[in-house]
Chain A
Amino acid sequence: MEQRSSKIFKLVFLEIWIIAIIVVLFIITLTDNQNIKGDIDKLKQASVDTYNYSEIDEQIKIYSDIETSLKNRYDEYYTNIATLEQKIMNKETDVKIAYLTFDDGPYDLTYKVLDKLKENNIRATFFVIGKNGVDDRYKRIVEEGHTLANHTYSHGLGKGLYNSVDSFMTQVKKLEEYLYNLTGYTTTLVRFPGGSPTAGKLKDGIVEQLHANGYKYVDWTSETGDGSDLKLKQKGTYQWFLDTTQNQNIIVLLMHDYNASTYNDLQKIIDNLKSRNFIFLPLHNKSIMAK
């Protein structure tokens, strides 16, 4: 009887111990859970931002090889202009294109012409020749997004320019190098001084050489008559402009940035073209006007 009582006592004692251990473990776990809940709340309050750097990666890719990216961007732009020209030719759109071109500069008046174009948010084309001491004029043409194009270094009409294909190409390459050194821009468009027919029998040979050197040439479809006093005696620049731009959907307008009369009429010319649904673009060698 006493032995049995002792066994039960031991069992009770053991059970009390077990309960004590379980209670201790329970309290430890409970405390741990409270701490973990506190940590979780803190972490939830901490900002877990998502960072999407695919856009940055894309920009790094474009800008780290900016030369190629810029070339590609220009290619795309010029290709789209060429496509628009094609749509215009196919009469698939009402919009028209005006390529304003200024020959023989840069002159003092070039600044005013550039100001006027800037005011109107227009980019044009300057067929320049080689001149010393006017570096900033060439640079400004490029900086403001106009096309800097080649009109030969000397514009040597009557001074041997059209003696041979070589004499012409020498003048083209001389100006190309001169402009590249000044602006970092390589010309790809040429306008023959006097227009391509002036080259006479040499024209085909010159064109072949121009193409071989990555050039195309551009004549004009319209003019303000400002290159000839004889023409201006017949009628004024604005009238020349009106008469030579009728019934055309893509015009290449020949002007000279030394002529005050053209400059004075420039805003009127721009306004007239806008009213006739023309948009203004710079020439490029993908244009159908570039041969």
Chain B
Amino acid sequence: MKKGYVIILTILIIVAAVLFGKEKIENNNLNKELSNLKSQVDESNQNKETYLKKQQELDKIKEENKEKIERYNEVEEWNKEVVKYLN
């Protein structure tokens, strides 16, 4: 009778260990996925910061050289007109 308990408990240990093992494997995978996502978000935030800094720098340069930049863009348009006749 007591031997029967031992066998049942042993089977329960095996089942519990298998279930736990499965859950642990999933835990590892989820941790990896979380870590990847975190680094993606971090990178994105860092890129956003760099992008905004560069945008500010560009806005400042544009403000300082407004007239010349306008002329630069005009010449580009005039040039496109001439190129149209070259092709």
- Which A residues form the contact surface with B (CB < 8 A)? 5, 8-9, 11-12, 15-16, 18-19, 22-23, 25-26, 29-30, 32-33, 36-37, 39-40, 43-44, 46-51, 53, 56-57, 59-60, 62-64, 66-67, 69-70, 73-74, 76-77, 80-81, 83-84, 87, 93, 95, 123, 145, 279, 281
Contact = CB atoms under 8 A, between A and B. Distances in A.
Contact of A66 (B2, B5, B69): B69
Contacts of A64: 61
Main secondary structure of the interface of B (DSSP, over half): helix
B6 A15 contact: yes
Given A36-B34, A44-B37, A63-B58, A70 B72 contact: yes
A77 B79 contact: yes
Contacts of A60: 54, 57-58, 61
13 contacts: A9-B2, A15-B9, A33-B30, A40-B37, A43-B41, A48-B44, A56-B51, A57-B54, A64-B61, A70-B75, A77-B78, A84-B82, A145-B75
B19 to A, nearest CB: 6
Given A8-B2, A9-B2, A87-B86, A73 B34 contact: no
B37 A63 contact: no
Nearest to B7: A15
Contacts of B81: 279
A135 to B, nearest CB: 16
A29 B75 contact: no
Most chain A beta carbons < 10 A, residue from B48, B75, B82 = B82
Contact of B68 (A43, A46, A67): A67
Interface of B: 2-3, 5-6, 9-10, 12-13, 16-17, 19-20, 23-24, 26-27, 30-31, 33-34, 37-38, 40-41, 44, 47-48, 50-51, 54-55, 57-58, 61-62, 65, 68-69, 71-72, 74-76, 78-79, 81-83, 85-86
A23 B18 CA distance: 11
Contact of A73 (B37, B65, B79): B79
A49 B48 contact: yes
Given A49-B48, A60-B58, A19 B82 contact: no
B47 A51 contact: yes
